[in-house]
């Protein structure tokens, strides 16, 4: 299986999640957010196709990392390949964070047609969801570009069928966010 990447793996990031992380920059994004910092990652035909086994090998060789962060691009456009990589990351006892332009609720609906989405999310510890909205851009929100984006505890959210944001990353005024319930069918 292959994954389309925008760049080489980027170890030692301290801005793409908690701790020291290796970022996997996926290629291809359908969201076209105004003010996106990575417009070169939008094209689904660009970047490079890399064998998932090669990505796993590279991850195995990188030392002193707390986890892996899937970014892009939108990793949820390649859930099958991301699933295989995420499974391996867990075998190495590292955590998995993932950025997506889809909301959690949208992903749950999409998962009805493609179960790999749900399977991948089961290996994701923290999901940062939603498009980047330029009008809501903020430097005060941890690890995110705009205030609408949520840092979601995926495991708890899947268990309870309700989006659970991770409070320690939220500003006080954001703790009052109301999260819609969604249904599994
Ligand atoms: S989801 Fe991310 S990569 Fe895609 S357009 Fe929005 S900000 Fe850019």
Instruction: Give a yes or no: residue 21 inside a domain.
Output: yes
Total domains present in the chain: 1
Instruction: Give a yes or no: residue 6 inside a domain.
Output: yes
Q: How many percent of the chain have pLDDT more than 90?
A: 89
What domain range is 112 assigned to? 2-176
Residue with CA nearest ligand 1 atom 7:
36
Ligand 1 mutation pick, 40, 72, 76, 78, max ligand atoms within 8 A of CB: 72
- Please state the pTM of the whole predicted model: 0.91
41 alpha carbon – ligand 1 mean position (Å): 8
Instruction: Give a yes or no: residue 142 inside a domain.
Output: yes
CATH number, domain containing residue 33: 3.20.20.70
Which pLDDT score is estimated for 175?
A: 40
Of residues 177 and 11, more confidence is placed in: 11
132 lines ligand 1 (CB under 6 A): yes
Instruction: Give a yes or no: residue 182 inside a domain.
Output: no
For residue 30, give the ligand 1 atom closest to its CA: 4
Q: Report DSSP letters for the chain, one per residue.
A: -EEEESSS-EEEESSSSSSSEEEEEB---S---TT-S-GGG--TTSSEEEEHHHHHHHHHH--S-SEEEEESS-GGGSHHHHHHHHHHHHHTT-EEEEE-SS-HHHHHHHTTT-HHHHHHHTT-SEEEES---GGGB-SSSTT-SBTT-EEEEHHHHHHHTB--B-GGGS-GGGGG----B----
């Amino acid at each position: 299986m292959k994954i389309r990447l925008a760049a080489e793996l980027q170890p030692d990031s301290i801005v793409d999640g908690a701790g020291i992380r290796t970022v996997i920059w996926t290629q291809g994004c359908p969201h076209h957010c105004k003010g996106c910092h990575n417009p070169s990652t939008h094209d689904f035909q660009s970047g490079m196709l890399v064998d998932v086994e090669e990505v796993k090998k590279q991850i195995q060789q990188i030392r002193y990392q707390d986890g892996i962060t899937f970014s892009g691009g939108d990793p949820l456009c390649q859930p099958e390949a991301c699933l295989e990589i995420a499974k391996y990351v867990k075998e190495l006892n590292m955590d998995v964070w993932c950025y997506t332009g889809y909301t959690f609720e949208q992903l749950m609906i999409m998962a009805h047609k493609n179960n790999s989405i749900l399977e991948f999310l089961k290996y994701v510890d923290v999901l940062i969801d939603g498009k980047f909205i330029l009008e809501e851009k903020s430097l005060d929100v941890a690890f995110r570009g705009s205030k609408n984006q949520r840092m979601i505890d995926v495991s708890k959210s899947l268990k309870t069928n309700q989006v659970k944001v991770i409070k320690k990353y939220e500003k006080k005024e954001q703790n009052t966010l109301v999260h819609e319930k969604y249904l599994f069918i």
